[in-house]
Amino acid sequence: MIEIREATLEDIPFITTIFRDTITNVNAKDYSEKQIRQWASGASDIDQWKDRIANSYFIVAELNDTIVGFAYLSKGNYFDGLFVHKDFLRRGFGIKLMRIIESQALAEGYEVIKADVSITALPFFEDQYYIVEKKQKKNYKGLAFEIFKVYKEL
């Protein structure tokens, strides 16, 4: 049974492990080794994770008391992150997290939700009716990453 709940600071070790493992195992097919290393290093910025949990609508998905994914919404309608453990992909966790994030944006009065998504995540978002606004380069810690600015009318 999937349980969704708001994240706590005690969840950070599990969240950062999923973040790092997803990038190094799933996103590695679409980005260079250097990009993967740089992106995955974001798991070590504990203060940033604390800030995200404190200042975003941040939820985790649990299966049998084990965190298997997380998502967070910032600035009311910016879908800032969605990560599912590599061993739990294509089992409905991502869609469930996405629907709750979308519902939260709608509850906050927004009619459109926006996100910047990786090459890897783009097909998943497109399958859920997100529309590509534009392809762009985003600088992260000195490296350029190809990402897609997407949106969905709620």
Give per-10-residue mean pLDDT for the chain (154 aa): 95 98 94 94 96 98 96 96 94 96 97 97 97 93 91 97
Instruction: Classify domain 2-153 by CATH architecture.
Output: 3-Layer(aba) Sandwich (3.40)
φ, ψ for residue 137, nearest 5 deg? -100, 135
Sign, Cα dihedral of 102, 105, 107, 111: negative
Closest residue by Cα to residue 46 from 11, 74, 71? 11
Please return the burial class of 85, using the count of CB atoms within 10 Å of its CB with bins 0-12, 13-18 and 19+. Answer: buried
Name the pTM for this structure.
Answer: 0.95
- Give the model's pLDDT for residue 142: 82
Local structure of 16: helix, strand or coil: helix
| Residues 137/88/90/84 CA torsion (nearest 10 deg) | -30
